[in-house]
Amino acid sequence: MQNIKKLALAFGVASTLSLGLAPVANAAETLKIGFVGVTSGAKAGWGISNVRCMQTRAKWVNDEGGIKIGDTTYNIEIVTWDTQDNTTRAKEGMEKMVQEGIHYVIGPNTDPTAAAVRPVAERDGVMYFPYAFPKELYTKPASNAVLGMIANYQSGPAIYKYLKENKGVKSIAFLAANESDALSQREGGIQAAKALGLKVLAQDAYQSDTRDFAPAVTPIVKLKPDLLVLSGVAGGTAPLIIRAARELGYTGLMSAETAQDAMQLKDGAGDLANGFISVGGASTPEIRSAMMEEFIRRYTEDHGQYDDESNTKVYAMEYILETLKANPKAINDVEEFKKTMDTLSVPNPYMKGDRKLEYVGLTSFGQKRQVGIPMVVTEYQDGEFQTLFVTNVD
Amino acid sequence: MEQIVVNGLYLGAQYALIALGLTLIFALMNVLNFAHGQMYVLGGYMTYLVYGKLGMPFALGLAVSALTLLAVGAVVEKFLFRPVLRKSARDESSMLLAAGLAFFFDSIILLLFGQKQHGVPKIIEGVQNWGDFTVVIPNDKIVVGVCTVLMIAAFIIFMQYTKPGRAMRALAQDRTAAQLMGVSADRYGMLGFALGAMLAGLAGGLLVATTGVSSGIGGSISIKAFLMVMIGGAGVVPGAIAGGFILGMMESFGLSYLRAYGDITYLVIFASLMVFLSIRPHGLMGKPWG
Amino acid sequence: MAKNIKIAAGAGVFLFMILAVVPWLLIKTGRGDLMSVLTSVALLSVISSGVWLTFFIGRINIGQGAYALMGGYVSAILVVKYGVLFWWTLPLAGLFCAAASVLIGLPILRLRGVYFAMVTLTLTEVARLLAQALSITNGPRGITNIPPPGGVEFFGLTLIPDFAELENLRLGFYYLAVVLMILCFAAMWRLVNSRLGFLCRSLQQNEELASSIGVNIGYLRVLAYAISSFLGGVGGAVFAAIVQSIYPATFQIQESVNFMLYCFLGGLSYVFGPMLGTLVLYMGWDLLFKTGAYQLLIFSSTLIVLILFLPNGLLSLRLPWRK
């Protein structure tokens, strides 16, 4: 009895509290953009670079007096939600975004959490930009997810082909963390390698909490592959693997299909990371526009240090803003947004030359559900990325 | 083959050092310290700051890590664990506190040091290569390995031959009897907890030299340490050391020999651990309590 | 007698609140997010009450995530690959987990204290790795096309509507979760106050003594563990249906630890402890979401303070106006 009363009391207090925290509806000229992703725990790096991109860009826009969409000028407000890389929390986060009246959300960062937010987002009209690769998210009947980066099944073939033709790579080995995202990417990489006629020597996995990689890379080093691909590797883990493999005498090439951070590579592996190949957006000084330099400057000013993963992650928000500018009706109507996605074509402000922001993905998903980011394949050299080649995804 | 053994031994030494502190705390206070991994990370960052950022000697970094964690451990024991253990009806309630502390340290570390992986300059350059790549060990790993073994040895000697060491062993063996003999449970409990935290910090500081440090890894390190402690037997120092080496060897051999059958290395390791504990419910050398 | 009437009245008020007042209020104020959170709380408290039951027989269980994952997969595979109606898979998932837990429990329930805790912790990781390695679970790719629960008709009378056609799907899942929670805690209440409950309590206090006076401790332990796993499986199955997907990482070690923490926070000596613990911990995190980067710091500090003052759980708090 006593306990039941206490329970009722707690329920009451909790509901009152959360009702009290309900948003005040004065958002006449505030454009809210949401983030649902992981910003704590082992994978915090992935989400934090997203959030910081969004916050930097929002502050920049607001400093300049807001963004004009149609006849109204909006200030941007970023609403963030930490999923703790947990599916239930992720679903709750998307519900919260719906409640806040948000129609455009960036994230989540992993396969399970992206799948978990899908029912809510599809049902309640939220466009979300996951950094997860499963094709079911982007192919029909799903229509509200937009892949925020280049998938490894798109960049992998291009990289392997380049290395096969230019560096004489004939054999290849894959190493991935023993978890859904990385294993799926390893599978995609193996298919791409086989299609190119490369010999797959190894497909190994390590436990995600590994810190000393010598036991995991020893068998691969013995096989002497021409190329070692780190599938779905996190920015913090790559330098550890590179260092372990090089110290054990591995001399072949190494590459990753996820964005990496030059500072972490330098810090963790030093010169041993030279020649490491990865993919980025506006990553290298040769291709960056003045606006990208300004973005990096503001980012560094706001958050202490820059993160090269943001070279790719800067784009999702820009796509949302540009699409809204092109079609002001989309601000509260995602169907309008989808219509404009098929036709949008505006200059890419972060790159030199006449590159365009256009949604892509027809080949991979049968509909334009991917942000078009120039695929800049880079090579790490003494603390900086250098451009190997640039192509596009269709 | 030789390389696999060397890898396993080195990994095992790392694990043993991590597990020591955990088992000490468990032996003395019956507390399963969920925040052990976070203490390891904190120690790592201290050495990173002193040696990597400020460019002072590595040994000084280790000393700072040790002292910081010694203080943290003492404070946590005196102001958090002791009152909670005194008031709670069941000893296990301390697990909630330990988990809360783990969250707390996680958030502090993330706020202070950011989400990126950090490394330090090599403490010593060069690689030893015996028999044309039969066995390859980088020099820094040799140094770290030797330091690890020395620390473990020093700890055993301390526990075996000094007065506080004997007092703590007595407390671990039979709390009531030790108290009746005049051992202050409060004082030595606090000392033990502080020492355990210090060992975590030392391990973190030492391993920064080879694997760097990152803010989100604490939780998984705690869990790995639990496993080693269980293999050897909870609360027994030689058990933790044995558990560390066994797990290190299993990983090293498993990753080389089970790879032909798919990604099952860790499945096999964990499943066999369950079977092992079902057969020997107190680990290798644990006592039938806990 | 008066006590029983008071209990019945209290229970009635509580049921009326969560079945009528709360949903009405949430719909009126348009708080769909809150309804979804409460749905999760109800389900998580069902899963945690299983953990609580193992605490009741004196075992620290950090393996409930394994059964939640197993239940989710059983339901998902039956629905997606064999076209079984969701409502049938619910008890099947529970029974499958209970059966599995008997096989696993027979050897490991001999362990005690931290050893049992660690073995169950390992079990969670084994379950994840197994789901990743098997092909029936679709390996690391997970199962991502689970449809919403279908309807049940009985001679043209709709007993349960088809969830895919529900106007308010959230409300549907809310009622499903809350009804499960009520059934679960009613059963738990009954169990704890029955002869069986007193036997279980004797296990918690002294197994050897209980055994010496003729209590079949082996049978009791396995029975309690099977019930616990049954609840885990049912909860996991509903979760899979709500997010319409399941991955090996859907329930990991962190969730197993959380289930245990919910029990601790609520209070180990109270049947309703897991319910309150889940509500406070799970919803507490959600309420703090506006604090951004400081969310975890505030959350963990509050948690530590709570434990410091109420180490025996929230329900050990003596309300000032009662003796």
* DSSP codes, C151-215: -EEETTEEEE--GGG-S-HHHHHHHHHHHHHHHHHHHHHHHHTSHHHHHHHHHHH-HHHHHHTT-
Higher pLDDT, B28 or C101: C101
**Domain annotation covers residue B59:** yes
Closest CA to B3 of B96, B141, B168, B99: B141
Count of pairs with CB atoms under 8 A, one residue in B, one in C: 131
CA-based nearest distance C226→chain B, Å: 18
Q: What is the number of domains present in chain B?
A: 1
pLDDT exceeds 60 at position C197: yes
CA-based nearest distance B138→chain A, Å: 6
The pLDDT value recorded for residue C3 is 76
In this complex, do C249 and A112 lie within 8 Å of one another by their Cβ atoms?
A: yes
Q: Which residues contact A316 (CB under 8 A, 6 or more apart)?
A: A50, A53, A106, A129, A146, A148, A371
Closest CA to B216 of A330, A42, A363: A42
Q: For B108, list phi and psi in degrees, rounded to 5.
A: -60, -45
Domain ranges, residue C214: 38-278
Subunits with 3+ C-beta pairs closer than 8 A to C: A, B
Q: What is the number of domains present in chain C?
A: 1
Q: Which of B3, B117, B221 sits opposite A268 (nearest CB)?
A: B117
Per-residue confidence band for C281, with pLDDT thresholds at 50, 70 and 90: very high
**Domain annotation covers residue C202:** yes
In this complex, do A212 and B11 lie within 8 Å of one another by their Cβ atoms?
A: yes
| Rounded (10°) angle between helices C64-82 and C32-56 | 120
* DSSP letter, residue C273: H
| Chain A contact probe: residue of B117, B141, B246, B263 with most A CBs at under 10 A | B117
In this complex, do A236 and B266 lie within 8 Å of one another by their Cβ atoms?
A: no
| Chain B contact probe: residue of C106, C129, C221, C278 with most B CBs at under 10 A | C129
Residues B56-63: what's their mean pLDDT?
Answer: 94
CA-based nearest distance A41→chain B, Å: 5
Bond from prior residue into A108 cis (ω within 30 degrees of 0): yes
Dihedral angle computed from the Cα positions of residues B6, B8, B10 and B12, in that order, rounded to the nearest 10 degrees:
-150
- A14: number of CA atoms within 13 Å, CB side? 25
Residue A95 with chain C: CB contacts under 8 Å: 32-33, 36-37
Long-range contacts of A1-4 (CB under 8 A, 24+ apart): A1/C3, A1/C6, A1/C7, A1/C10, A2/C319, A2/C322, A3/C270, A3/C271, A3/C272, A3/C315, A4/C7, A4/C10, A4/C11, A4/C13, A4/C14, A4/C272
Residues C161-176: what's their mean pLDDT?
Answer: 88
**Domain annotation covers residue B20:** yes
Q: Which residue of B has its CA nearest to A49?
A: B115
Between the CA of residue C306 and those of A229, A263, C119, C262, what are the distances in Å? 48, 40, 29, 13
In this complex, do C304 and B108 lie within 8 Å of one another by their Cβ atoms?
A: no
- Rounded Cα distance between A392 and B140, Å, is 43
- Rounded Cα distance between C57 and C59, Å, is 6
Q: Are A391 and A378 in contact (CB under 8 A)?
A: no
Mean pLDDT of chain C: 90
Q: Are A315 and A281 in contact (CB under 8 A)?
A: yes
Structure tokens, A324: 């809204």
Q: Are C44 and C252 in contact (CB under 8 A)?
A: no
Q: Which residues contact B228 (CB under 8 A, 6 or more apart)?
A: B15, B16, B18, B19, B240, B243, B244, B246, B247
pLDDT exceeds 70 at position C287: yes
C182 part of contact set with chain B, CB < 8 Å: no
Between the CA of residue A100 and those of A87, A248, B88, C38, what are the distances in Å? 20, 53, 42, 18
In this complex, do B290 and C133 lie within 8 Å of one another by their Cβ atoms?
A: no
CA-based nearest distance B133→chain C, Å: 33
Q: Which of A211, A216, A248 sits opposite B255 (nearest CB)?
A: A216
CA-based nearest distance A309→chain B, Å: 11
At C140 the three-state DSSP class reads: helix
Q: Is A7 exposed, middle or buried (0-12, 13-18, 19+ CB in 10 A)?
A: buried
- A73: number of CA atoms within 13 Å, CB side? 6
Q: Are A7 and A195 in contact (CB under 8 A)?
A: no
pLDDT exceeds 50 at position C323: no
Q: Are B44 and B208 in contact (CB under 8 A)?
A: yes
Q: Which of C122, C265, C268 sits opposite B227 (nearest CB)?
A: C122
Q: Which of B97, B230, B277 sits opposite C304 (nearest CB)?
A: B97
C288 part of contact set with chain B, CB < 8 Å: no
Q: What is the mean pLDDT of each run of 10 residues along chain A (394 residues)?
A: 55 51 54 94 89 94 92 93 92 94 94 94 94 92 92 90 93 93 92 93 92 92 94 90 93 91 89 91 84 94 89 92 94 93 93 90 92 91 90 82
In this complex, do A267 and B256 lie within 8 Å of one another by their Cβ atoms?
A: no
DSSP-derived secondary structure for A81-147: EE-TT-HHHHHHHHHHHHHTT--EEE---SHHHHHHHHHHHHHTT-EEE-S---GGGTSTT--SB-B
β-pair partners for A200? A172
Closest CA to B114 of A55, A305, C290, A109: A305
Weakest-pLDDT range from A5-19, B3-17, C74-88, C168-182? A5-19
In this complex, do B4 and A45 lie within 8 Å of one another by their Cβ atoms?
A: no
- End-to-end CA gap in chain B: 38
CA-based nearest distance B188→chain A, Å: 33
β-pair partners for A378? A278, A387
Q: Which residue type is seen at B247?
A: L
- Rounded Cα distance between C276 and C278, Å, is 5
Between the CA of residue A98 and those of A33, A105, A166, what are the distances in Å? 11, 10, 49
**Domain annotation covers residue B278:** no
Residue C244 with chain A: CB contacts under 8 Å: 115, 118-119
Structure tokens, A159: 């990289």
pTM assigned to the model: 0.92
In the stretch 70-109 of chain C, residues with CB closer than 8 A to chain A read none
Closest CA to A349 of A392, A292, A294: A292
* DSSP letter, residue A305: S
Q: Are B24 and B199 in contact (CB under 8 A)?
A: yes
Name the residue with tokens 């939780």: B219
pLDDT exceeds 60 at position C98: yes
Q: Which of C34, C244, C248 sits opposite A119 (nearest CB)?
A: C244
At B98 the three-state DSSP class reads: helix
Where b means 16+ CB within 10 Å and e means fewer, C142-168 reads: bbbebebbbbeeeeeeeebeebeeeee
Residue C315 with chain A: CB contacts under 8 Å: 3, 6
The CATH architecture that domain A152-281+379-391 belongs to is 3-Layer(aba) Sandwich (3.40)
Longest Cα–Cα distance in chain B: 62
Q: Which residue type is seen at C158?
A: T
**Domain annotation covers residue B281:** no
Subunits with 3+ C-beta pairs closer than 8 A to B: A, C
ipTM of the modeled complex: 0.91
- Rounded Cα distance between C38 and C45, Å, is 10
In B114-135, where does DSSP find H-type helix?
none
C292 part of contact set with chain B, CB < 8 Å: no
**Domain annotation covers residue B122:** yes
- End-to-end CA gap in chain A: 65
The pLDDT value recorded for residue B290 is 40
The CATH H-level superfamily of A29-149+284-359 is Response regulator (3.40.50.2300)
Where b means 16+ CB within 10 Å and e means fewer, C101-121 reads: beebbeebbebbbbbbbbbbb
Residue A21 with chain C: CB contacts under 8 Å: 287, 290
Give per-residue pLDDT as tens, C119-129: 999 999 999 99
Residue B212 with chain A: CB contacts under 8 Å: 239-240, 267-268
Q: Which residue of A has its CA nearest to B3?
A: A218
Residue C240 with chain A: CB contacts under 8 Å: none
CA-based nearest distance C256→chain B, Å: 12
In this complex, do C17 and A11 lie within 8 Å of one another by their Cβ atoms?
A: yes
* DSSP letter, residue A22: P
Q: Which of A40, A95, A112 sits opposite C247 (nearest CB)?
A: A112
Domain ranges, residue B60: 2-218
Q: Are B136 and A245 in contact (CB under 8 A)?
A: no
Per-residue confidence band for B51, with pLDDT thresholds at 50, 70 and 90: very high
Closest CA to B26 of B123, B86, B92, B100: B92
Q: Which residues of chain A are in CATH 3.40.50.2300 domains? A: 29-149+284-359, 152-281+379-391
Q: Which residue of C has its CA nearest to A136?
A: C144
Q: Are A249 and B135 in contact (CB under 8 A)?
A: no
Q: Which residue of A has its CA nearest to C145?
A: A136
Structure tokens, A280: 């980025």
Where b means 16+ CB within 10 Å and e means fewer, B158-174 reads: ebeeeeebebbbbbbee
